[in-house]
Chains A and B, each alone.
Chain A
Amino acid sequence: MIYEVFRQERKGQAFQHAGSFHAPGRDFAETYAREFYGRRAESVALWIVPRDDVVAIEDFADELGRTYHRVDGYSLKGKLREARERAGNA
């Protein structure tokens, strides 16, 4: 079975994907993870996840063009200029 490993380098940091390895079960996976990513104190915590249990999402369709969810849905520049002009602050 393939396990994916995520490691945290220092307390408070985000976990980052570190790599993957083969292991015949959880005990081996734990030992391998410690040996691969922990034996030089390079990690303060590890997450070990069977690859099959990782749900990957890679397509983000936006058929409805819902720009109000995004920064590009709000163009303030022109409006701001106009509002300043109207207020006599241009």
Chain B
Amino acid sequence: MGARVQEFVEYVQGGSQVEAGDWLPDEYRAKLIKFIEMHGNSELMGVLPEREWILRAPTLQRKLALTAKVQDEVGHAQLIYRVVEDLGKPREQCLEDLLSGRAKFHNVFHYPTRTWGDVGVIAWLVDAAAIISQKALLKCSYAPYARIMKKICWEESFHILHGRDVILAMMLGTPGQRELVQEAVTRWWGPLMQFHGNPIPADEDPMLYWRIKSQGNEEARQQFLDGYVPQILELGLELPDPALRKDPDTGRWLYTEPDWEELRHVVTGHGPRTQERLDLRRRAREESAWVRRAVLAEAA
């Protein structure tokens, strides 16, 4: 490692941040692009499962709230792709890599949304898991990313509120409604446990090495379990893992090993809805091409 890279590593490991115009080691830049691009892809693809329920939302208020959430997430994608762009990868290229299946997006957005219960579980628990990852980026060594994360976390907290409200309304409803929530929680538990990734030891995690993240995968999962298992159980819901419990001696959660093979399979383009959603994204891009042409021609 060159002296300059060494100096850079010490600088970021000491908690300092860098800006877009600063000299960055190639490996750091490449890691940043890959990580942030996947985040942008996830925001963009993440609206599709929820979008399916806009027309089927039970009330006008829910329809508006869900539409606003979708708009927030697309807005996050725009902000995040801008950060990637300033690192050297154009937005068009990001979209192309996403649509051609070369780039990845988060596991939870590859699954179907079967019922309105799923909409509640996504806004409540998927966004809760996401906000834990995103809060660990507020101190990211790359300052432009850390700055937009403040806005993103703030908006995600609205989504969790919306999700809890949806869930509580259903839990206070008929046995059929409670059944829908339970069924959705059961179905989402596996993907939620996989969400933060396999437990890489902190000293082997390149994201921690470069201080892109400030928290390891297992720490994030423990934080999620700490915060949300009690919230789930207090509503009378059950979790489909008989091994799940908090070790009173260590304060750590114990659980059945998540299905890492499923995670790998899903994020490499083989999830139950991966291709369908990518198809939809491609179609939307083609169908809206004339708008981009018209607007850009007028601006030119």
How many B residues are at the interface, by size bracket? 10 to 19
Q: How far, in angstroms, from A21 to B83 measured CA to CA in the complex?
A: 10
Query: A49-86, CB under 8 A of B: which get 1 and which 0?
Result: 00000001010000000000000000000000000000
With A17-B147, A35-B71, A42-B154 as known contacts, state yes or no: A25 contacts B298, CB within 8 Å. Answer: yes
Contacting pair B299 A19 (CB below 8 A):
no
A20 to chain B, nearest CB (A): 5
**Nearest A-chain residue to B86, judged by Cβ:** A20
CB distance from B63 to the nearest CB of A (A): 17
A58 touches B79 (CB 8 A): no
Q: B172 near A: Cβ within 8 Å?
A: no
* B284: A residues at CB distance < 8 A: none
Q: How far is the CA of A36 from the CA of B148 in the complex (A)?
A: 11
Q: Which residue of B lies closest to A36 (CB)?
A: B75
Q: A19-B79, A21-B79 are in contact. Are A1 and B151 (CB under 8 A)?
A: no
Pick from A17, A21, A37, A56: contact of B82, CB below 8 A.
A21
Binary contact readout B67-83 vs A (1 if CB under 8 angstroms, 0 otherwise): 00001000100110010
A22–B79 CB distance below 8 A:
no
Interface size class of A (residues with CB under 8 A): 10 to 19
Interface presence of A2 (CB below 8 A): yes
Find chain B residues with CB under 8 A from A17 CB.
Answer: 147
Known A35-B71, A56-B21; judge A21-B295 contact (CB<8 A). Answer: no
- List residues 1-33 of chain A with CB under 8 A from any CB of chain B: 1-2, 17-22, 24-25, 28
Q: For the complex, what is the distance from the CA of A22 to the CA of B21, rounded to whole Å? A: 19
Question: Inside 8 A of B148's CB, which chain A residues have their CB?
Answer: 19
Q: Which residues of B contact A18 (CB under 8 A)?
A: 147, 151
Contact B299 A24 (CB under 8 A): yes
Judge whether B79 and A36 touch: CB under 8 Å.
yes
Q: How far, in whole Å, are A24 and B155 apart by their CA atoms in the complex? A: 26
Residues 82 to 129 of chain B near chain A (Cβ within 8 Å) = 82, 86, 91
Residues of A within 8 A of B299 (CB): 1, 24-25, 28
Given A18-B151, A19-B82, A36-B75: A24 touches B21 (CB 8 Å cut-off): no
- B 244-274 to A, binary, CB cutoff 8 A, 1 in contact else 0: 0000000000000000000000000000000
Q: Does B243 contact A (CB under 8 A)?
A: no
| Interface set of A (CB-CB < 8 Å, partner B) | 1-2, 17-22, 24-25, 28, 35-37, 40, 42, 56, 58
A-B contact pairs, 27 of them (CB 8 A): A1-B299, A18-B151, A19-B79, A19-B147, A19-B148, A19-B151, A20-B82, A20-B86, A21-B79, A21-B82, A22-B78, A22-B82, A24-B295, A24-B298, A24-B299, A25-B298, A25-B299, A28-B295, A28-B299, A36-B75, A36-B78, A36-B79, A37-B151, A40-B155, A40-B158, A42-B154, A58-B21
Please name the 5 residue pairs, one residue from A and one from B, whose CB atoms are nearest each other, closest first. Answer: A24-B299, A25-B299, A24-B295, A20-B82, A19-B148
10 further interface pairs, Cβ-Cβ under 8 Å (given A20-B82, A21-B78, A40-B155)? A2-B82, A17-B147, A18-B147, A19-B151, A21-B79, A35-B71, A35-B75, A36-B78, A37-B151, A42-B154
